[in-house]
Amino acid sequence: MKLSVIGCGYLGAVHASAMAELGHDVVGIDVDAAKITQLAAGKPSFFEPGLPEILASAGASGRLRFSTDMADVAEATVHFVAVGTPQMRDSHAADMSYVDAAIAGLLPFLKPGDLVVGKSTVPVGTAARLAQLIADSGTGATLAWNPEFLREGFAVKDTIEPDRLVYGVADERAAAVLDEVYATTLATGTPRIITDYATAELVKVSANAFLATKISFINAMAEIAEVTGADVSQLADAIGHDARIGRRFLNAGVGFGGGCLPKDIRAFTARAEELGRGESVAFLKEVDAINLRRRQRAVDLAVEALDGSVYNKRIAVLGVTFKPNSDDVRDSPALDIAVQLKGLGAHVISTDPQGIENARMRHPQLDYTESIDEALDGAELVMLATEWKQFRELDPARVASLAIGRTIIDGRNALDAAAWRAAGWTYRGMGRP
């Protein structure tokens, strides 16, 4: 099929490449000329495992091209809208200007029978509004909503081999078109849920709200563990054996971040309030508050470890991205902690396998190094803030040969506490004795 993907950021670049890899003829459209040039050269503007390979493969096949000219969508019959919906500057609501601009730019090139497919995470009610806009345009095109469920670090797999496909459609024809788009995926037995617009929109934000709640729940238990002497990791293991609960996303630490969970739960709360049902998701405000408190707790542990003051103390912060296998520093707990420590007068040296350049653009006042050894050299305190494999596998004895201090704060509860203590370290976890 001939497809277009409007917006070639994280979601759009992955989706365009994956669809071409599945055999479709795809054109990716974006207003950022530099981004388009990079993608056309087979170089994504962000780090995502597996993406360079399928980007190169699809490009070499001739099935994938990129452009800044919206007119290049004219031959496509299915148009995916994959632009961002960031949090607005003056409220918790989602900024819909990019979605609205994408639809406005697309309308002049739509033809009878074309299907516009929304993939962006939007407030419930958006699809109905856009469907009416497309109907009123007289183009003969229709709208479907097909939310994405990508995990950064696994986005390629999640696109080619998703755990489910959700179609928000107004008629059977739209579902049939999407079935054709995803024929290869459906042939493997991937579950398909066909529903209305509103349900499809709610599936994504509800999923993110649930995951955020689960993370903040175990972090709330960590707060209780810290005043009772309990071990939150053992607690998570024990309750995680209950099939109704499960162990995934029950890892206490410095909390969640990134470009999805924080802004999505805030936007969900804002939309519920607009609908007159703010009380239904009022608990998400506490989920957000717990999440932010864990960052402060990590800073407090650093102050305690350095006898009440971090002023002029050299602190090695291992990690700046919000999670491993990503270069995303948006709303990153690791970066936030480094900034807070810097604000208290500490000499912070941050290191990360992929996120340094993005972190430097946001917080140039911090000191960064690509060398783990350089970050650790002379450190009076070590803090693990992102659980990259390189950091989890550090040898405590080797770290001791570089650092001056002998305290490590494990902000992700990812280290072997016994091994570090046996090597002479004072180990401090999050909700662990």
Q: Is 260 a catalytic residue?
A: yes
**What is the pLDDT, as a whole number, of residue 259?**
92
**What is the pLDDT, as a whole number, of residue 214?**
98
- 315, 346 Cβ separation under 8 angstroms: yes
Helices (H) and strands (E) in the chain, counts: 18, 14
**What is the pLDDT, as a whole number, of residue 3?**
98
Q: Quickly tell me which residue has 């040969």 as its tokens.
A: 401
**What is the pLDDT, as a whole number, of residue 332?**
98
Helix, strand, coil percent content, the chain, rounded in steps of 5 = 45, 15, 40
Cα(258)–Cα(268) distance, integer angstroms: 16
**What is the pLDDT, as a whole number, of residue 31?**
96
| Regions of the chain with pLDDT less than 50 | none
Residues in the chain: 433
- 295, 289 Cβ separation under 8 angstroms: no
**What is the pLDDT, as a whole number, of residue 426?**
98
**What is the pLDDT, as a whole number, of residue 302?**
98
DSSP 391: H
**What is the pLDDT, as a whole number, of residue 288?**
98
Candidates 252, 154, 164, 172; CA nearest to 207 is: 164
**What is the pLDDT, as a whole number, of residue 383?**
98
SS3 376: helix
- 392, 409 Cβ separation under 8 angstroms: no
Cα(374)–Cα(390) distance, integer angstroms: 14
**What is the pLDDT, as a whole number, of residue 224?**
98
Catalytic position from the list 102, 220, 260, 305 = 260
Note if the pTM is more than 0.75.
Answer: yes
Give the burial class of 211: count Cβ atoms within 10 A of its Cβ; 0-12 exposed, 13-18 middle, 19 or more buried: middle
**What is the pLDDT, as a whole number, of residue 64?**
97
**What is the pLDDT, as a whole number, of residue 57?**
93
**What is the pLDDT, as a whole number, of residue 11?**
97
**What is the pLDDT, as a whole number, of residue 218?**
98
